[in-house]
Chain A
Amino acid sequence: MIVLNVNGRDHSLDVPPETPLLYVLRNDLQLNGAKFGCGLGQCGACTVQVDGQAAYSCLLPVSAAAGRHVRTVEGLGTVEKPGVLQRAFETEQAAQCGYCIAGMIMRAQALLDANPRPSEAQIRAHMQPNLCRCGTHMRILRAIRRAAGLPPDGKMEAA
């Protein structure tokens, strides 16, 4: 039995220890926000937070997440009451097909949790591992700036 804490709730799971966290989230816990993209840690669609840090859930065995705090996009808010970052993504219309967005939001959330007012360079370096094949990166960056209360065009480096 593995006890997994997701979004503040403990779940007892009878799964092989090497099962990727992503499969457990989607198949056993019906948390379908995180997506399977490449399965190789190269696209970021599966990104969740583990102990506050962004992690590829497709390459994280569930046993490695046991006893730690896992947070998924479902933990940030609901359709009725979206979180600050989710609302910013919506306002900026940052999703095209939407497949990458849960991962984008969770990676960005990890940055804002550690650093509520990041510089433009810090945002870009932090978001670098996550890919969007529709090409909405500019809107994604605007959404992150909006959530952080930064100027939408990212031009504030002179300060």
Chain B
Amino acid sequence: MTSAGLIRALCAAGTLILLASACAGGPKLPPPPPQSFDRAEVAQGFALAKLGDCQGCHTADGGVAYAGGLPLKTPFGTLYTTNITPDAQTGLGRYSKDAFVRAMRRGVRADGAHLYPAFPYDHFAYADDRDLSALYAFLMTRRPVARTAPANRLIPPANIRGVIAVWKALFFHPGPPAAPDPNDPRARGAYLVESLGHCGACHTPHNALGAEQTRQALDGGYQEGWYAPPLNALTPASVPWTPERLERYFKTGLDRDHAAAAGPMGTVIRELAKAPDADRRAMAVYLAELMKPSPAGRGQTALVDRAAAAASAHPQGASLYAGACASCHEPGAPMMLQGRPPLPLGTPLHEADPRDTIQIVLQGLQPPLGGAGPYMPAFGSSLTDAQVAEIAAYVRARYSDRPPWSNLTAAVAEARKQGAS
């Protein structure tokens, strides 16, 4: 940015701070009684809350749903998510609908303070009035829970909320809310993906100041020690996604030709599985279209299994794989007979970044929806960094035609650090 641009941005930020202070200290309304909300609107809000996975971030491990307190690790320190139950003192109880809509679309708290952009208002800005009204009705009819989130632990200057005004001046320029034709599934899908679904919050790369690089929308990003793969023509999938397969993946967290949902996506699936079929279908239609390989692109890759070459390049990895992985992952193993993705199709093995493969080995997989879903034991406590790196190098060489990953041992150490809560 030029110095003139920076000055302009700072002036704009100053104006925002003034505006924000002018809004501060609004009337202290009592929470609206739950029975004042229309039941159909509450039901619609429930569906939208599932699509937006509000619960995933606004619930602490083992805590009450929507009562907040989940630590979010960012490059700028740890943020704790807020209580969005309608408790008057610690939650949204005193938010009017207008204050709620302003928070969602402009990232401004009821008292006028700026909200950190970890709350993805850069997406929610596109949500239309009716949907925000329904979401408000849903949240305001939850059971109020008195719970204050722990204080954020951020590094200077990110610990000063006023700095968010500068950030907004630089990076937050939302267009008007979208109002898609409800009868057009593709348009509805695009709207949900871009607005309440906020897929880009993980799947779009972020710049050094944590803003989405909108010119590389859905090109793949990093979140909580995991890599969120591209959701466009850059997809590393070996077999093209279809709307039907995506829809099933959203509902079950598993697709035999790609992968099982893991890491932060596991949390997303838990909520997405409860969303209305038509909305899951709409998102699937839109995303499958985005992921269509471009005419100049790769199209379908031939599946590879170069066992001999991989074993001669990584003999130690091959023997570790034989003892630790083969009893489930080789053809004919009991796991494979249950319809789990064969490794040559496993999306993580074809990603540009090794961290999903590493995290799955370290942390294993828990079925996001419980029951008989895909499960893998964690190897983080039994294998060393160098051993996990050997296995990753071997499976990449054996099952993918992409270039080898580099600096794997360091990547394992880093993945351990970022994956630990």
Q: Does B316 contact A (CB under 8 A)?
A: yes
List of A residues within 8 angstroms of B379 by Cβ: 59
Q: Which of B324, B335, B384 is A61 in contact with, Cβ under 8 Å?
A: B324
Q: Does A40 contact B (CB under 8 A)?
A: yes
Complex Cα–Cα for A55 and B334 (A)? 21
List of A residues within 8 angstroms of B334 by Cβ: 40
Chain A's closest residue to B322 (CB) is A18
The reply to whether B323 and A64 contact each other, CB–CB distance below 8 Å, is: yes
Which chain B residues (324-370) contact chain A, with CB distance < 8 Å? 324, 327-328, 334-335
Complex Cα–Cα for A109 and B387 (A)? 24
Q: Which of B62, B319, B327, B377 is A17 in contact with, Cβ under 8 Å?
A: B319
Complex Cα–Cα for A42 and B375 (A)? 8
The reply to whether A40 and B327 contact each other, CB–CB distance below 8 Å, is: yes
Q: Does B3 contact A (CB under 8 A)?
A: no
Chain B's closest residue to A50 (CB) is B382
List of A residues within 8 angstroms of B158 by Cβ: none
Which chain B residues (290-324) contact chain A, with CB distance < 8 Å? 316, 319-320, 322-324
Q: Which of B323, B335, B377, B387 is A129 in contact with, Cβ under 8 Å?
A: B377
Q: Which of B323, B335, B375, B387 is A18 in contact with, Cβ under 8 Å?
A: B323
Minimum C-beta distance from B137 to chain A (A)? 35
Minimum C-beta distance from A68 to chain B (A)? 8
Chain B's closest residue to A68 (CB) is B384
Q: Does A89 contact B (CB under 8 A)?
A: no
Q: Which of B323, B328, B383, B384 is A40 in contact with, Cβ under 8 Å?
A: B328
Complex Cα–Cα for A93 and B382 (A)? 30
Complex Cα–Cα for A40 and B335 (A)? 9
The reply to whether B320 and A18 contact each other, CB–CB distance below 8 Å, is: yes
**Chain A interface size, under 10 / 10 to 19 / 20 to 34 / 35 or more:** 20 to 34
Minimum C-beta distance from A141 to chain B (A)? 18
Which chain B residues (191-217) contact chain A, with CB distance < 8 Å? none
List of A residues within 8 angstroms of B335 by Cβ: 40
Q: Does A39 contact B (CB under 8 A)?
A: yes
The reply to whether B387 and A64 contact each other, CB–CB distance below 8 Å, is: yes
Complex Cα–Cα for A59 and B320 (A)? 9
A-contact 0/1 string along B381-408, CB 8 Å cutoff: 1111001000000000000000000000
With A39-B327, A42-B375, A59-B327 as contacts: A64 and B381 at CB distance below 8 Å: no
Which chain A residues (32-61) contact chain B, with CB distance < 8 Å? 39-42, 50, 53-56, 58-61
Chain A's closest residue to B379 (CB) is A59
The reply to whether B323 and A60 contact each other, CB–CB distance below 8 Å, is: yes
Complex Cα–Cα for A16 and B384 (A)? 20
Complex Cα–Cα for A34 and B183 (A)? 61
List of A residues within 8 angstroms of B319 by Cβ: 16-18, 61, 63
With A42-B375, A50-B382, A56-B382 as contacts: A63 and B328 at CB distance below 8 Å: no
List of A residues within 8 angstroms of B377 by Cβ: 40-42, 56, 59, 129
The reply to whether A63 and B316 contact each other, CB–CB distance below 8 Å, is: yes
The reply to whether B324 and A64 contact each other, CB–CB distance below 8 Å, is: yes
Chain B's closest residue to A64 (CB) is B387
Complex Cα–Cα for A33 and B142 (A)? 51
For the complex of A and B, list the 3 residue pairs with the smallest distance between their C-beta atoms, beginning with the closest.
A61-B323, A41-B377, A55-B382
Known: A18-B320, A20-B323, A64-B383. 4 other contacts (CB 8 A): A40-B334, A63-B320, A64-B382, A129-B377
Chain B contacts to A: CB under 8 angstroms: 62, 316, 319-320, 322-324, 327-328, 334-335, 375-377, 379, 381-384, 387
Chain A contacts to B: CB under 8 angstroms: 16-20, 39-42, 50, 53-56, 58-64, 121, 129
